[in-house]
C-alpha cells in the first residue's frame, strides 16, 4: 500500500489523569472552569443524596459514559472488562453466543448482527432484534447492568433471551447454549464450476490473510478450470477493522484509491491505495449487501463501486461512515471516540446514506433501522437520505442464487465485449445492469 495501514480502532497509548492545581483562569487551554465547578456540584450532590449509595468511581464512570453517550451513537466508554471483550471481538475469539451488539439503550440490547455459524445464528437471532431480558431478568436490572458480559459465559451453559422483533407483536424467547466462539471471518466455496463464492462475516485482524488462504484452497480444488466470476457476500457484516477491508479490496483493485479518512486532526487524514496488480484481473465481480452491511463492509463496497470494479447487488446498506479510535486509560478502561469520516474513492461520504446497490434485490423483511435512525447520528452533506428504497435484511440462500444470476449476466456481457485479437489482455471489466 502507498499509505501505511491503520485500524478503525487505534490504540493511543495510556491516557492518564493526574491531579494538579487548577489556575483561576485557563485562557490558554480553554478549560471551562465554571462548567467544571458545576460538574463538581452535581458530583457531590449525587454522592451525598442519591437514593442508593454510589462510590466515587461509579459516579465518575457514569459521568464519563454520559459524556460520550451524548456525542454520537458510536462513541462510548468501556470499563476494563468491556475493553477486553472489545479486543476479543477484534481478534475473533471468546466464549458466548456470537453476536455484534449495541448496548447503548439501557432498556434493551440491539442485535447488530449474529456471526456466521454461532449459537445465536443457529437459534434464529437476527440483525435488528432487541434483547429485553436475559434469563428472565430485564436488561435494565441494576445488578445485571454492572456486568458488561451478560451474554458471555462458560461453554455449555444455557442462556434464555427474551426477544422483540420488529413486525412481530409479542416478544418471544430463545434458548441458546453458549460456545467458545472462534470466529472464522471468511468462508469460500464453488457455487458452480468457475464461479467462486466468498462469505465475509466480519473484518478482523486476519481477514485479509484468511481471504487469500481460502482462495488458494479453492484454486487447488478447481485444478486447471478457469475462474469465470467471483461473488462476495457481505450481508449483515457489521464491519470491523479498516485495514482488513483495505486488504480485501486490494485483491481486486490495482493502483487506485480505496478509501480516505478526514477529521479535525491532521493525523486522522489518511488515504489508502491499492498496490499495482490484482489477483482477479479480468474476472467479473459481484458484491452482495443488505441493511446489516456496515462500516468496513461499506468501505469495500464503495471502493469497488466507485472504481467500477464490481456490480453491487442487494439492499441499501446501513450507512455508518464514521471512524472510531480507541484510547486506552491507565486503569485498563478505554473509550471509543469518533475522530473522522471516511470517503469513497469518488469523494462520497456514505454517513447516514449507505451504499445504494446497482441492482436491487427485493426482500420480504421489514426495513432495518439504519444510521440515520440512530439518535444524535453525525450529519454529513444534506443528511436528507437518498431516494433509494430503505434497506432490508436479506437472509437465506435464495439471494445468493439471485446474485449468481446477475454475475452470470455480467460474465456473458464481458465475454461478448472482449476483443478477439490474440494476445490482448483485459485487466478489468465490469458492466453494470440497470435497475
The span from the CA of 324 to the CA of 227, in Å, is 38
CA dihedral 218, 300, 96, 68 (to 10 degrees): 170
Structural contact between residues 186 and 198, judged by C-beta atoms closer than 8 angstroms: yes
Contacting residues for 28 by C-beta, under 8 A, at least 6 apart:
none
- Establish whether 295 is a catalytic residue: yes
Structural contact between residues 139 and 131, judged by C-beta atoms closer than 8 angstroms: yes
Catalytic residue among 306, 317, 349, 359: 306
Strands 195-200, 186-192: pairing is: antiparallel
SS3 for 258? strand
Closest CA to 133 of 146, 150, 119: 150
- Establish whether 320 is a catalytic residue: yes
Catalytic residue among 295, 315, 349, 428: 295
Partner residues linked to 377 by β-bridges: none
Catalytic residue among 90, 233, 320, 358: 320
CB-CB neighbours of 425 under 10 Å:
8
Helical H segments across 92-156, by residue range: 119-123, 142-145
- Establish whether 21 is a catalytic residue: no
What residues act catalytically?
295, 306, 320
Amino acid at each position: 500500500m502507498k499509505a501505511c495501514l491503520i485500524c478503525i480502532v487505534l490504540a493511543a497509548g495510556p491516557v492518564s489523569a493526574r491531579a494538579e492545581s487548577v489556575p483561576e483562569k485557563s485562557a490558554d487551554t480553554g478549560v471551562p472552569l465554571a462548567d467544571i465547578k458545576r460538574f463538581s456540584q452535581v458530583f457531590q450532590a449525587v454522592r451525598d443524596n442519591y437514593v442508593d449509595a454510589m462510590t466515587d468511581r461509579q459516579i465518575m464512570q457514569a459521568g464519563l459514559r454520559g459524556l460520550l453517550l451524548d456525542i454520537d451513537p458510536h462513541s462510548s466508554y468501556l470499563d476494563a472488562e468491556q475493553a477486553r471483550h472489545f479486543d476479543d471481538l477484534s481478534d475473533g475469539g471468546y466464549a458466548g453466543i456470537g453476536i455484534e451488539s449495541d448496548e447503548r439503550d439501557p432498556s434493551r440490547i440491539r442485535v447488530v448482527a449474529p456471526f456466521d455459524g454461532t449459537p445465536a445464528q443457529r437459534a434464529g437471532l437476527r440483525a435488528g432484534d432487541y434483547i429485553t431480558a436475559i434469563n428472565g431478568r430485564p436488561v435494565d436490572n441494576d445488578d445485571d447492568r454492572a456486568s458488561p458480559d451478560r451474554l458471555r459465559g462458560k461453554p455449555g451453559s444455557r442462556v434464555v433471551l427474551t426477544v422483540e422483533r420488529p413486525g412481530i407483536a409479542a416478544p418471544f424467547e430463545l434458548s441458546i447454549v453458549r460456545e467458545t466462539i472462534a470466529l472464522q471471518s471468511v468462508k469460500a466455496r464453488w457455487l458452480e464450476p468457475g464461479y467462486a463464492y466468498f462469505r465475509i462475516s466480519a473484518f478482523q485482524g486476519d481477514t485479509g490473510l484468511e481471504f487469500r488462504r481460502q482462495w488458494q484452497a479453492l484454486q487447488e480444488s478447481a485444478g486447471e478450470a478457469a475462474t469465470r466470476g467471483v461473488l462476495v457476500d457481505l450481508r449483515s457484516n457489521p464491519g470491523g477493522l479498516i485495514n482488513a477491508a483495505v486488504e480485501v479490496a486490494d485483491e481486486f483493485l490495482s493502483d487506485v484509491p480505496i478509501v480516505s479518512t478526514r477529521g479535525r486532526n491532521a493525523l486522522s487524514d489518511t488515504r489508502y491505495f491499492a498496490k499495482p496488480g490484482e489477483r482477479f484481473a479480468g474476472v467479473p465481480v459481484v458484491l452482495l449487501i443488505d441493511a446489516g452491511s456496515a462500516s468496513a463492509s461499506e468501505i469495500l463496497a464503495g471502493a469497488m463501486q466507485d472504481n467500477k470494479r464490481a456490480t453491487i447487488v442487494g439492499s441499501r446498506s446501513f450507512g455508518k461512515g464514521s471512524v472510531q479510535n480507541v484510547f486506552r486509560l491507565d486503569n485498563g478502561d478505554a473509550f471509543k471516540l469518533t475522530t473522522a469520516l471516511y470517503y469513497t474513492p469518488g469523494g462520497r461520504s456514505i454517513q447516514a446514506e449507505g451504499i445504494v446497490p446497482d441492482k436491487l434485490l427485493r426482500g420480504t423483511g421489514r426495513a432495518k433501522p439504519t444510521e440515520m435512525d440512530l439518535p444524535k447520528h453525525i450529519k454529513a452533506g444534506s443528511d436528507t437520505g437518498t431516494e433509494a428504497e430503505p434497506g432490508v435484511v436479506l437472509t437465506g440462500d435464495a439471494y445468493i442464487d439471485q446474485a449468481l444470476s446477475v454475475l452470470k449476466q455480467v460474465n456473458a456481457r464481458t465475454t461478448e465485449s472482449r476483443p478477439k485479437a490474440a494476445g490482448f489482455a483485459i485487466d478489468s471489466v465490469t458492466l453494470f445492469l440497470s435497475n
